[in-house]
Amino acid sequence: MRVSNYIIKAKLSDNKYLLFHSYTGALDVVNKKVGEYIENPKKNYIDKESLNTLTKRGYITDKSPREEEKHVLNIVKLLQSKIKTEYVFTIIPTYRCNLKCTYCYQDSIKRDNVSIDKNVVDKIFEIIKNFSYSNNKIFKTIQLFGGEPFLPENYKIIKYILNIGKELGYKFAVSTNGVCLDQYISLLKPKFFKGIQITLDGIENVHNKRRLKKNGTGTFKEIVRNIDIVLSKDIPLNLRVNIDKRNFENFKYLVKYISEKDWTNYPNFQVNFRPVYFVSKNRKKKYGFTNYLLYKKVILLLGKEYLWMNMGNITFPFEPIISDIFRGKGYAGFVAFYCVAQRGSVIFDPYGDLYSCWRTCGEKFWRIGKYIPKLTWEENKLNILKNRTVVDISKCRKCKLALLCGGGCVVKAFDDSRSLYNPGCEDDIEKLLIKKFPIIYNKLKQKNKEDTKYINHFFSE
Ligand code: SF4
Ligand code: SF4
């Protein structure tokens, strides 16, 4: 018998640890003694009964490392065979944008004056309707993305899209720079929108140096005014803050500004901060943060993580995976794939091309099909996405996070190594997870008071 290679252990308090077994799905709160035993069984001792419980939960195993790896790969294959496609639709009305942000990753794509028109919108909804006849899961929220979807000249086509979508039972989520939102006031209604994401990168002088108009002027004032408008309309607002070394120090002033504005009093207001994604290795080295480093630094800077603040979907959906244990299912929702781009995301761009990942829209290498003049798929691309699991990625095969992660972001893997079959995670992903684990656990415990019966509190006196 030996300690399993698939344990995630995090400190909950001076005397308590959290243990999560990443293929049996066991989640346990244990005392210091057990925590230390798991860390080093040769130097520590526990009684027989405790040992039996640890064995039942999978922390102690008679499987060899090779057998454990094989077991995990079998689970992945099983999950892969059972998973249904989950269609999430995104419409890009145009790639044009009214800003020239300093870190825009869409710099290299073609941004001419092409916008979708009514005929194209009709075609998109015809396709969406046909998808809904299939036996697969369909998300009832359509994403609007760009370029900038809410350009003043897009008003009529956006109104058209919203109305057709609503008739078919869809709501919309939009990522906008927020500059011209005031021109969309008559459409800002909860019956249309599930949520709006607006980016603010700092207080005025910092934000204005990063997110500026084509003529070089800043956008802070317009955006703040429009955030006030969205919140007054009772629409959930996700304030996105893109952070790199150039605006990091300013984050604390932005947090102060947000509190003073009372935005946090709106129940549907949330701040999501993320490190800027740099494709260029040099820029990444000069300005970038890893998720772990940023998270650590933000906590040091602010002293804590505020409830209304979130580090986005930092690494992989760890919280939903764990929350399944609380939600009466009693077991973790393991995954075979990393993200929606592999599970059924369909993005309609204004040129009649289809993509599955927002970050790669407009880059022909990542195109998965066309919908103009008629719907055709690029089967080889789809197969790569649908079949890329940890089974094919040698480094992931041994990883204890395999069933939580699914192999990482395929685009990051390709950007970093020019291969799709390398891990798409950052080196310090496990450290970040361990740091976040107690916070996620406490949050879920608070949310699911009645349902904690599924969490074992053995050995925790
Ligand atoms: S991408 Fe990284 S974290 Fe994810 S399974 Fe592979 S090695 Fe593990
Ligand atoms: S492939 Fe990567 S960038 Fe694209 S949606 Fe998935 S996680 Fe995001």
User: Domain check: are 54 and 162 in the same one?
Assistant: no
Number of other CB atoms surrounding residue 266 within 10 Å = 17
Q: Is the minimum distance from the CB of 390 to ligand 1 under 6 angstroms?
A: yes
Pocket test for ligand 2, best of 175, 291, 339 (most atoms within 8 A of CB): 339
Domain count, the chain: 2
pLDDT (0 to 100) of residue 461: 38
238: domain CATH number is 3.20.20.70
Task: Calculate helix-pair angle for 291-302, 251-260, nearest 10 degrees.
Answer: 60
Residue ending a domain, among 282, 304, 326, is 304
Reduced to 3 states (helix: H, G, I; strand: E, B; else coil), residue 423 is coil
User: Domain check: are 146 and 204 in the same one?
Assistant: yes
Question: Looking at the domain assignment, is residue 343 inside a domain?
Answer: no
User: Domain check: are 105 and 28 in the same one?
Assistant: no
pLDDT (0 to 100) of residue 329: 60
Question: Looking at the domain assignment, is residue 335 inside a domain?
Answer: no
Residue ending a domain, among 304, 321, 343, is 304
Q: Is the minimum distance from the CB of 405 to ligand 1 under 6 angstroms?
A: yes
* CA gap 241, 235 in Å, rounded: 19
pLDDT (0 to 100) of residue 426: 81
Q: Is the minimum distance from the CB of 424 to ligand 1 under 6 angstroms?
A: yes
User: Domain check: are 49 and 174 in the same one?
Assistant: no
User: Domain check: are 126 and 238 in the same one?
Assistant: yes
Nearby residues of 224 by Cβ (< 8 Å), 6 or more positions away: 200, 261
Pocket test for ligand 2, best of 409, 412, 429 (most atoms within 8 A of CB): 409
User: Domain check: are 10 and 42 in the same one?
Assistant: yes
Question: Looking at the domain assignment, is residue 71 inside a domain?
Answer: no
Question: Looking at the domain assignment, is residue 299 inside a domain?
Answer: yes
Is pTM beyond 0.75? Reply is: yes
Question: Looking at the domain assignment, is residue 188 inside a domain?
Answer: yes
User: Domain check: are 225 and 150 in the same one?
Assistant: yes
> Containing H/E element for 93?
none
pLDDT (0 to 100) of residue 377: 96
Pocket test for ligand 2, best of 410, 414, 416, 429 (most atoms within 8 A of CB): 410
User: Domain check: are 126 and 43 in the same one?
Assistant: no
* CA gap 173, 195 in Å, rounded: 5
User: Domain check: are 154 and 270 in the same one?
Assistant: yes
pLDDT (0 to 100) of residue 452: 57
The stretches in the chain having pLDDT less than 50 are 460-461
CB 271 within 8 A of CB 241: yes
User: Domain check: are 175 and 278 in the same one?
Assistant: yes
Question: Looking at the domain assignment, is residue 460 inside a domain?
Answer: no
Residue ending a domain, among 304, 321, 345, is 304
pLDDT tens digits for range 29-83: 999 999 999 999 999 889 999 999 999 999 999 999 999 999 999 999 999 988 8
Ligand nearest to the CA of 277: 2
User: Domain check: are 49 and 145 in the same one?
Assistant: no
Q: What does the radius of gyration of the chain's CA atoms come to, in whole angstroms?
A: 23
User: Domain check: are 36 and 185 in the same one?
Assistant: no
Q: Could you tell me the sign of the dihedral formed by the alpha carbons of 255, 261, 264, 267, in that order?
A: negative
pLDDT (0 to 100) of residue 458: 54
Question: Looking at the domain assignment, is residue 440 inside a domain?
Answer: yes
Question: Looking at the domain assignment, is residue 39 inside a domain?
Answer: yes
**In angstroms, what is the span from residue 67 Cα to ligand 2's centroid?**
31
Domain of residue 442: give its range: 2-63+428-454
